[in-house]
């Protein structure tokens, strides 16, 4: 083989290595670990579904756990169920996230928070035309404004903590917060809103060693999901079906592992991983390996995304043809 061929091959092998080194030097924020053992994890919507599963998992991993929701009965029930399955007691606090004063009092009574998980959420899938403004505002209020209330209430205490160890604020989004889905105009808007909040907030709190995460589950088998399924447009189920259904325990494990490793994006299944790569945009990325995968896969994932839209619009056309 000619010398020029050899040096060409060597260059091909070295280029990715140089690129990896370059990414390792520039990715920001820097990688971080957020331990949860013996720390205070505060989970909203912790009395049901995904929040309850996260509370149980965090308690099992040795965290001090507080759960917040409105219904005291459901909170008591959740506390008993966690005690029965783990032998551990969690603290409960009742408040409506839409009421700032109530949230502030709840956060103060719970004591300094190391990991805030804003998981409360409501979802009713309907076409915008068939959804009244009360229901639309309800979703924006609980999912988005409620989350602002939580962060506003908890941030001063988190910033003024006595130790300077890494702490975390995590937001429960949804795959419907990464791509708009038929039937989710209000819900997707509320969850896309969380992404803007998270990206901007991370820049504001990085100097305080506070690390922000966004969790993106697919459909998950929970009491809320069972309720949603009673009256969901068929097309919503068909399109969301592209990503399958997970169990809340699996989502809880992914969520906590993501929080502990300081990931900004936390996908929960393989489709979610692809979706996170495809929607990386200008999101912060701490892992140079993930940054590498994002760059390398960008073009092909755009093609995959266009194929998904092709099948979704195909289903929509077919559905309308049948309606006629």
Ligand X SMILES: NC(=O)C1=CN([C@@H]2O[C@H](COP(=O)(O)OP(=O)(O)OC[C@H]3O[C@@H](n4cnc5c(N)ncnc54)[C@H](OP(=O)(O)O)[C@@H]3O)[C@@H](O)[C@H]2O)C=CC1
Ligand Y SMILES: CCCCCCCCCCCCCCCC(=O)[C@@H](N)CO
Binding site for ligand Y (CB under 6 A): 123, 174-176, 179, 181, 218-219, 225, 228, 240, 242-243, 271, 274-275, 278, 301, 304-305, 308
From the list ligand X, ligand Y, none, pick the one residue 142 interacts with, judged by a Cβ distance below 5 to 8 Å according to partner type: ligand X
Instruction: Using the minimum distance from each CB to ligand Y, give the nearer residue, 145 or 304.
Output: 304
224 binds ligand X (CB under 6 A): yes
Q: 220 and 251 in contact (C-beta within 8 Å)?
A: yes
The residue from 49, 262, 272, 284 that contacts ligand X (CB under 6 A) is 49
Cβ 9 to ligand X shortest distance, Å: 47
Active-site residue, 231 included: no
Q: DSSP of 260-305, one letter per residue? A: HTT-SEEE-SHHHHHHHHHT-TT-----HHHHHHHHHHHHHHHHHH
Cβ 8 to ligand Y shortest distance, Å: 33
Q: Name which of residues 151 to 210 contact ligand X (CB under 6 A).
A: 172, 174
96 binds ligand X (CB under 6 A): yes
Q: Determine which one of 47, 48, 173, 276 is catalytic.
A: 173
From the list ligand X, ligand Y, none, pick the one residue 314 interacts with, judged by a Cβ distance below 5 to 8 Å according to partner type: none
Q: Name which of residues 255 to 284 contact ligand X (CB under 6 A).
A: none
From the list ligand Y, ligand X, none, pick the one residue 304 interacts with, judged by a Cβ distance below 5 to 8 Å according to partner type: ligand Y
- At residue 14's C-alpha, the angle toward residues 10 and 15, to 5°, is 120
Q: 158 and 208 in contact (C-beta within 8 Å)?
A: yes
- Which CA distances in Å does 264 have to 144, 189, 196? 18, 20, 12
220 binds ligand X (CB under 6 A): yes
Q: 125 and 176 in contact (C-beta within 8 Å)?
A: no
Which residue, 133, 139, 211, 136, is CA-closest to 174? 139
Q: Determine which one of 79, 191, 232, 260 is catalytic.
A: 191
Structure tokens at 206: 């990085």
Instruction: Using the minimum distance from each CB to ligand Y, give the nearer residue, 179 or 205.
Output: 179
Q: Using omega within 30 degrees of 0 as the cis cutoff, is the peptide bond preceding 29 cis?
A: yes
Cβ 191 to ligand Y shortest distance, Å: 7
From the list ligand X, ligand Y, none, pick the one residue 158 interacts with, judged by a Cβ distance below 5 to 8 Å according to partner type: none
Active-site residue, 191 included: yes
From the list ligand X, ligand Y, none, pick the one residue 305 interacts with, judged by a Cβ distance below 5 to 8 Å according to partner type: ligand Y
Q: Determine which one of 182, 184, 187, 288 is catalytic.
A: 187
Which residue, 216, 187, 49, is CA-closest to 128? 187
Q: What's the rounded Cα separation, in Å, for the pair 114 and 33?
A: 13
Q: What are phi and psi of 116, to 5 degrees?
A: -100, 120
The residue from 92, 93, 198, 219 that contacts ligand X (CB under 6 A) is 219
Q: DSSP of 28-41, one letter per residue? A: SSPP-----TTSEE
From the list ligand Y, ligand X, none, pick the one residue 119 interacts with, judged by a Cβ distance below 5 to 8 Å according to partner type: ligand X
243-261: buried (b, 16+ CB within 10 Å) or exposed (e) per residue? beebebbbbbbbbbebbbb
Active-site residue, 165 included: no
- The residues of the shown chain that bind ligand X, judged by CB under 6 A, are 44-45, 47-51, 69-71, 74, 96-98, 119-123, 142, 146, 172, 174, 217, 219-220, 222-225
Residues annotated as catalytic (active site), given as ranges: 173, 187, 191
């Amino acid at each position: 083989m000619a010398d020029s061929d050899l040096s060409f091959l060597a260059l091909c092998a070295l280029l990715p290595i140089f690129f990896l080194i370059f990414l390792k030097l520039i990715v920001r924020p820097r990688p971080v670990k957020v331990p949860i053992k013996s720390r205070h994890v505060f989970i909203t919507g912790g009395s049901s579904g995904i929040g309850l599963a996260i509370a149980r998992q965090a308690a099992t991993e040795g965290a001090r756990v507080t759960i917040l929701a409105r219904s005291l009965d459901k909170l008591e029930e959740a506390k008993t169920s966690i005690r029965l399955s783990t032998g551990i007691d969690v603290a409960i606090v009742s408040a409506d996230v839409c009421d700032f004063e109530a949230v502030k009092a709840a956060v103060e009574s719970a004591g300094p928070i190391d990991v805030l998980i804003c998981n409360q959420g409501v979802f009713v899938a309907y076409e915008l035309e068939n959804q009244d403004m009360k229901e639309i505002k309800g979703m924006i209020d609980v999912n988005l404004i409620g989350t602002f209330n939580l962060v506003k209430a908890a941030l001063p205490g988190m910033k003024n903590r006595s130790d300077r160890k890494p702490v975390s604020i995590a937001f429960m989004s949804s795959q419907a917060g990464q791509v708009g889905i038929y039937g989710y105009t209000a819900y997707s808007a509320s969850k896309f809103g969380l992404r803007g909040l998270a990206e901007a907030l991370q820049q504001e709190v990085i100097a305080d060693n506070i690390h922000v995460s966004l969790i993106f589950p697919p459909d998950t088998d929970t009491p809320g999901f069972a309720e949603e399924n009673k009256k969901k447009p068929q097309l919503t189920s068909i399109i969301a079906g592209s990503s399958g259904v997970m169990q809340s325990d699996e989502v809880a494990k992914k969520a906590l592992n993501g929080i502990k490793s300081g990931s900004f994006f936390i996908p929960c299944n393989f489709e979610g991983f692809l979706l996170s790569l495809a929607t990386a945009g200008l999101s912060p990325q701490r892992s140079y390996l993930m940054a590498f995968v994002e760059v390398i896969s960008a073009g092909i994932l755009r093609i995959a995304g266009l194929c998904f839209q092709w099948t979704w619009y195909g289903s929509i056309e077919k559905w309308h043809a049948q309606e006629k």
